[in-house]
Amino acid sequence: MCDLGGMFNGPRTQGGYGKAWPRKTPWVHLVQDDAGRILPEMKQLLETFPDRFVVGTDTAATAHVKFYRYRIDMFRVMLAQLAPDAARKIGAENARRVLAR
């Protein structure tokens, strides 16, 4: 499973979130460009393996809660670009499945 928190970007990115913030590592890859378009290789990956990704909001620390709505809105921009089945799995079903264990 891959939590997409910190890896998505969008047209209104705040504080560098989604741009390998706070530092670039070999395990963090951008999902979208600065305009919020999913990068072609990431779209192919997400739609080929939709059971392996979940929405991640990074709100475990209370300092991040103030950006919750913004991050959900940016995920909606991303999910709207995917095939409906992949969007549904990544946006909700996978988290339900994992948390039900």
| Rounded mean pLDDT for each run of 10 residues along the chain, 101 residues in total | 73 56 68 83 95 82 75 86 97 93 78
Amino acid at 5: G
Tell me how far CA of residue 85 lies from CA of 14, 16, 26, 67, 94, in angstroms.
Answer: 29, 30, 29, 27, 12
**pLDDT for the residue 20:** 60
Which residue, 43, 62, 64, 61, is CA-closest to 53?
43
The confidence score (pLDDT) of residue 58 equals 67
pLDDT of residue 81: 95
Q: Where are the beta strands (DSSP E) in the chain?
A: 2-3, 53-54
User: What is the spatial distance between Cα 22 and Cα 51, in angstroms, rounded to a whole number?
Assistant: 27
The structure's pTM equals 0.80
